Structures are given as structure tokens and as C-alpha cells.
Structure 1
Amino acid sequence: MLKLIRPTKEHENQALAFKEEFFSNDEKVINGSELLDQMSDYSEWLKSVTNNICEETVNPDWVITDTFFAVNESNKIVGIIDLRHTLNDFLKDFGNCGYSVRPSERKKGYATDMLRQILKVAKESGMDELHLSVERDNEPSIRTIKSNGGIYERSFEFESQMADIYRIVL
């Protein structure tokens, strides 16, 4: 059983191992991590993630965002997912949600379950729909989005790559 939990200081060692697994696999971007892949200090990242949860403390360059670790029955971090409650001009092509599953835990249905669970969080937050972007060559993510009700909406180009936006009505 997969659970979504908010990051805490107690997750630091696991989160750093999670991050390192991506880097060791030559993956430098961890989608849905609210820049965990770019931060060198976990405490700094945790403060940012915590501040971005509410309107009073959200970074003025961000939007209100909920970030969750996905943990398995052994409480091992197997994934990360974020939910952006609104989209600003920058995010209109990136969507309301990003997610990643650690390389050693892929092909186990975790991404599909993580997205299913975040859809419930979004609905409980009063959202009516989510927009998700995906690179055209990311077949596993396309399947994840479609299996959660995603319908193709439009395409765009980012860094010379074509990507698509899917909409999920809640």
C-alpha cells in the first residue's frame, strides 16, 4: 500500500538517498520534487516546501504547492509528487502536477497510484481539473496520465522537444 506523506526533517537521509539514486542513474531532473534535484541543503529545501503550502508564506515566484513523498509498506521513499493549486504564466506549459519514481522502483504501478491519490487531494482542495505535461517520448508517464482519465488537450515545444498537455477532470 502506497501512502503520500509530507516531507519532514526525519526523512532527510532517505530523501538524500532518493535524490542520489536519480543522479547515479544519470538523471539530473526529479520531476515533482520542487527543486530537490537543485538544492544542496535538505533543510533549505524542506523550509521552501513547507513555506509553499500556504498563501501567507509561499515564495512570491511560486504558486501554492503541496509536495509529498510516496512511501511503500516499508516506509521507503519510492516517489515524489507535487500539486500546484494554480498555474502562473511560467507553469501553464508544465501543469498542476509533477511526479517521479526512483529508478529502482519503476514498473510497479507507483506513478499511477501516486497520481490517483493526488487527484483526491486536488478535489478535496476545491480544484475542478488538473493539467499535466509530458514529453512525447515518455510512454510510461503518458500511460499513467491516461489511466487516470487524462485527455489530450494541446502540444507545445520546450527546449527543442515536443510535449503534450493532458487534462484530467476531477
Structure 2
Amino acid sequence: MLELISPTTQLHRAWLDAHAEWGAGAHEDGFGLTPADDADSPAGFAAWVGRLVDESAQTTYRWIVDDQRVLGGIALRHHLDEYAQWAGHIGFGIRPTARGRGLAGWALGRMLDRASQLGMDRVLLVCAVDNVASARTILSLGGVFEGVWDTDLGPAQRYWITLTEPSN
């Protein structure tokens, strides 16, 4: 059964399986993983999950799980700070073998609901110019293209999704 759950140490081995598909590095969008995190060791994994829980007032992290298998991650940043200006309010990633099944759109729809519950009027989403699948997912949920911005990682497309109609 497909679920969107809070990060948990109980899925360490399942998360490592997903991480292995991406290869070495901290590039899984939506997981809040940084180069300083040691997700391999049980103690490091617990510290990383603990940090994600500690950050829950600023960022909602969720894992996309099916039958105890980690399929992806998604993060909702609650404020448009400097980092969110660069990375967007919402970032998501799906493990390579789970792509093409609509999981990103499913999870993004639920995070848009969460953003609305938090009182957010609109959210920014950013993806690499060559990431056609992410752009298609964003557009399918109401994303409006703002433009292309140059970043340290290369050109990125910016999209806005309006969650509520502006009041007059």
C-alpha cells in the first residue's frame, strides 16, 4: 500500500536500497540529505532522521513508501527563505526503478494540500532545465512557468503553483 510517511529509523535498510540506486552522493531531492550526513551507519542514520524531525517546524519531510520499500522522498519548505528561493518550496525525488508510475505527482498533490493547511498561498518549484519528467509533473498540478534562472548547478526552471485564489 502506497504511503507518504515521516522519516523513520525503522526503514534504514530500505532507505539504503533506494540510496544505492542513485549512487554515491547526497543528490536525492526531497530527503534533506546533506554531504555532512552519515546515512550508512545506524547511528548516523538515526542522527540524520533526528535532524529531519527537529527541522519539522520549518520543513515537512515525507518518504514515499510501498510495502516497506522506500520509493522516493519529498520536502516542503514552509517559508520562502534564501534556500527556498534557489531550491523551491518543494523538492522531490523518485528512485530510478520507481519512476514513470506517477508517484511524484501523487506525493506532490499531497504536499500541496499540506502547504495549503499551513496557510501558504502559493509555492515555488524548481527543476533542472533537462528534467522533463519533473517539469511535466509540476505542470500537471498547475505549475505556471516563471522562467529559467542560472544557478551554481546549471540553469533551472522555476514554476509557481497557486494554492488559493487571491482575495479582493
TM over 0.5: yes
CA offset at residue 36 of structure 1? 5.7
- After TM superposition, which residue ranges in structure 1, 4 or more long, deviate above 2 angstroms? none
* Correspondences of 1:55-74 after superposition (within 5 Å): 64-72=58-66, 74=67
Match of 1:59 in 2: none
1:31 to 11, 29, 32: 29
Separation of aligned partners in 2, 1:120 and 1:68? 13
Match of 1:53 in 2: 56
Match of 2:166 in 1: none
Same amino acid, percent of matched pairs: 30
Runs of at least 5 residues in structure 2 that lack an aligned partner in the other structure: 39-43, 164-168
CA offset at residue 87 of structure 1? 1.9
Separation of aligned partners in 2, 1:31 and 1:139? 15
Match of 2:121 in 1: 128
Over the aligned positions, Cα root-mean-square deviation in angstroms equals 1.7
* Correspondences of 1:91-170 after superposition (within 5 Å): 91-159=84-152, 161-170=154-163
Conserved 8 A contact 2:87-2:126: yes
* Correspondences of 1:1-12 after superposition (within 5 Å): 2-12=2-12
Match of 2:68 in 1: 75
Q: How many residues align?
A: 158
Separation of aligned partners in 1, 2:25 and 2:79? 27
Match of 1:89 in 2: 82
Conserved 8 A contact 2:11-2:68: no
CA offset at residue 15 of structure 1? 1.4
The TM-score normalised by the length of structure 1 is 0.86
